[in-house]
Amino acid sequence: MQARGVDLADTFLWRWHGEALGFALEAKVGPLDLGVGGWYADYGSGKDTWWQQPGYVMTNHGYGVPFTTLGPFAYGTSWSRLLATRTTGNHPAAPDAYDDATSWLVIADVFDLDDQSPFVLSPARRISDLFGIEVGVAPVFVQATVGFNVAEFADFLLGFVLLDVFGDDGAPRPQTVPFVPAVQRR
């Protein structure tokens, strides 16, 4: 029964930044992903990925069009960012700083083409991410994101008949922070 509870928790994603600044709308429906505007916060709580325990989150900013596409001109980012339609990251001065493009030309970057995601995810979890639905909004002074993953919900339901689609029953879920980084920075 504990495995069913863990699988059910994997079904939901949420982040809350009570002291954010900016204006943005973010949406991901399966493989489609787009952000418009931008926001920044010093800290937040929730989950950075579907497969974590709730806690403090690393994700402390989100940028969408036009900020992502203006990045090479205004901020000196890679020219590939002309094609990015949403990014997330944390404080640029943090020792584990990252700024990850989460979509390119409105297609979700579940396989981390820019190799900037600090989260180590198995191929099954990356494929599962293709079935996630997320909505985020930053109306000036706060930021909230909620999500539901259809594939993880199917894994939860099928677990009642002893089918473990993603092979993750019994695998521990790390805390959101300090679940970092894929590569240790010096």
Residue 148 identity: F
Is 20:37 a contact under the CB 8 Å cutoff?
no
Specify the pLDDT at position 186. Answer: 39
CA distance 69 to 74: 9
The answer to whether residue 179 scores a pLDDT higher than 50 is no
**pLDDT confidence tier of residue 176, bands split at 50, 70 and 90:** low
Does the structure show a pLDDT above 80 at 38?
A: yes
For 58-112, write each residue's pLDDT tens digit. Answer: 899 999 999 998 889 988 888 999 999 999 998 777 777 888 999 999 999 988 8
Phi, psi of 51 (to 5 degrees): -105, 40
Q: How far apart are CA 6 and CA 127, in angstroms?
A: 19
pTM above 0.75, yes or no: yes
Kindly state the tokens that stand for 96. 């584990």
β-strands 143-149, 12-17: how paired? antiparallel
State the pLDDT confidence band at 181, using cuts at 50, 70 and 90: very low
Higher pLDDT, 120 or 102: 102
Kindly list the distances between the CA atom of residue 38 and the CA atoms of 6, 86, 123, 140, in Å, as whole numbers in the listed order. Answer: 32, 9, 29, 10
